[in-house]
Structure 1
């Protein structure tokens, strides 16, 4: 095992071209780190709008061999970069590199580091994991075959019903067409409005009420690099967008992120249709894995070919702030996970959120992106 001899701290925008290339090399050398949320481009995007974004670079004999992106908040509390938005988190490193968590936190000026989608094989953080969770994925060439063929063989009823609804959508509302990589920013704004309304309707926190998230999505939409590309996919009926998805992809991994649709077309299952079309198009474009993200959803159970595991927890070093933060945050996470894990609790909680959402929806909503300003 290699041992790390030095750790340097950088703001994302300070990373040199050679450091970015070394980060990309670490991604390429391990399939565990091929996820676009682990690319430097995602950290650079977050760093444009989050002043506490930092990257710790691990060096071995002067060579950059590991990259640890994080956000530093007040009193030395650290969070995984984009916590609450990122569906994959890790210290990205070359094979054989190891580290000591308390030394890493000390170098970063952190008393605690919170994560909720940590790559399972991050063994040095193992003692600090409080729970692991399923993250469904789609192998777009399962067993070296075709994903569409696999789905038809595994869920023939689902495939037939979805295709039937697709044909009916074309008859009722205009010819159905799918654009895998739409470049019209107006459609991205439509997606954000739909998603904002969905959050309000279901009682969830409206992410697009936060200007920095709107700005981040706008920025990532423009990024078109080898290891990170922002992809907007759209289902149209005639010239009218019916459903849309925006998310990042790397060379081989596509991440499901923000999906929404026009509620007036709910009968046609446009969200499911969107994910099927995305999977087929991404597979043709060289993607081998679609990561659906942690969370129990019926459509994920239908579409997945297998599951990865992601971890949540708190890496700490002896410090009063770490003790206080853990005492405050851990019960909140534990209660949430208990509710999500038990249908008897989850269903009443979901009904309550929808009731709150219906009350919230009766209030005037600020359009997604209002007040947001690019830097």
Structure 2
């Protein structure tokens, strides 16, 4: 497994960025639905300036889906004279701006050329907020005040390239769990029936089943049910239906069957050659076969024929991510604000959360918390 160093743009791109980087002198905050075709075209041009913006979380389709399901996405359109030089999609909740999509958004930043000069205190005032709170900042950070960063989290991806078979061989060599999965998979086929995988399943009922399985998993593991708010489930459906034949970004549902029984499923977002691995789940009664890992391996095996060259697992240090990937990067969390009180309160909450995670009895505590208050932490999705 390799740890990626901060990305450096090639000289040719840096020259282009230097020519187009600008001093923002005007900001217009509009509803996302009011973004006109010329602005959407400009969005795509600015998106191409940084490789980190390749993730589907910077796609127009993702924000279209969030807007269709919530209806409260705003976007700060930044200009120099009459030329659009940047965008910031956000929700205004109270006096705080949050990344559009809340904690479903696994990668965010201001969309603009690297090196564009941005006065954050002025921008926040134009957006009528006191802070911009981020939890997975990617790409250039030179425009962000250094006191805004409160920590970094590892993010994982599988750089499959053009030879998925070779990637899988390397992964099996490095991780015994992946190597031994073949024994479990063969046993599953013998005992339950022949295995088959459908990489791009368009069955909306199976999407609902996948969400139900994931919600049950959250309850079993005493984790906040991310699909408790209606808008989160609607966003999944919006992405699965897609936004037109020409839209390269959409929800991708993959299912593994043993005989006629669906034993595992994964729902993610795919755009061009990148699959964001979002919500893996399985039928708990077949957990002895590790069907989730079996499905992951089948997705990798078929990556070449489906044009998938990278599987992005996103941030968060769940053990399965280390076993299924070969590259580690980092994302930043923190807040941009002129309010010392807000920054300190946020730091106190982070410290308290960190202490609880280290507590020996955190398992029983989590169970008690979920029994008393099953929606604890739901404000992250509001």
Q: Does 1:44 align with 2:64?
A: yes
32-41 vs 215-224, greater mean Cα deviation: 215-224
Note closer, same or farther for the CA distance 1:28–1:279 as it changes in structure 2 (3 Å cut): farther
Q: Does 1:217 align with 2:250?
A: no
Offset of residue 136 of structure 1: 1.1
Give CA-to-partner distance per residue, 1:283-320, whole Å, 9 cap, x none. Answer: 54333322212212221111121111101101013xxx
Structure 2 residue runs without a partner (length 5+): 1-20, 375-382
Rounded to whole Å, the distance in 2 between the matches of 1:3 and 1:143 is 44
Give CA-to-partner distance per residue, 1:335-370, whole Å, 9 cap, x none. Answer: 224555xxxx26632353356668999xxxxxxxxx
1:205 aligns with 224
* Contact kept? 2:164, 2:300, Cα under 8 Å: no
Rounded to whole Å, the distance in 2 between the matches of 1:326 and 1:230 is 35
TM-score, with structure 1 as normaliser? 0.85
167-176 vs 88-97, greater mean Cα deviation: 88-97
1:177 aligns with 196
Note closer, same or farther for the CA distance 1:356–1:238 as it changes in structure 2 (3 Å cut): farther
Rounded to whole Å, the distance in 2 between the matches of 1:167 and 1:346 is 40
Structure 1 residue runs without a partner (length 5+): 362-375
Offset of residue 57 of structure 1: 1.7
State the superposition RMSD in angstroms. Answer: 2.5
Note closer, same or farther for the CA distance 1:294–1:24 as it changes in structure 2 (3 Å cut): same
Rounded to whole Å, the distance in 1 between the matches of 2:203 and 2:216 is 21
Rounded to whole Å, the distance in 2 between the matches of 1:252 and 1:338 is 40
1:192 aligns with 211
Note the 1:111-190 alignment, pairs <5 A. 111-127=130-146, 128-141=148-161, 146-155=166-175, 157-190=176-209
Offset of residue 212 of structure 1: 1.3
**Among 14, 22, 27, which residue is 1:2 paired with?**
22
SS in 1 for 2:209: helix
TM-score, with structure 2 as normaliser? 0.84
**Among 257, 271, 295, which residue is 1:250 paired with?**
271
Aligned length: 351
Rounded to whole Å, the distance in 2 between the matches of 1:164 and 1:347 is 35
Note closer, same or farther for the CA distance 1:280–1:107 as it changes in structure 2 (3 Å cut): farther
1:104 aligns with 123
Rounded to whole Å, the distance in 2 between the matches of 1:60 and 1:279 is 44
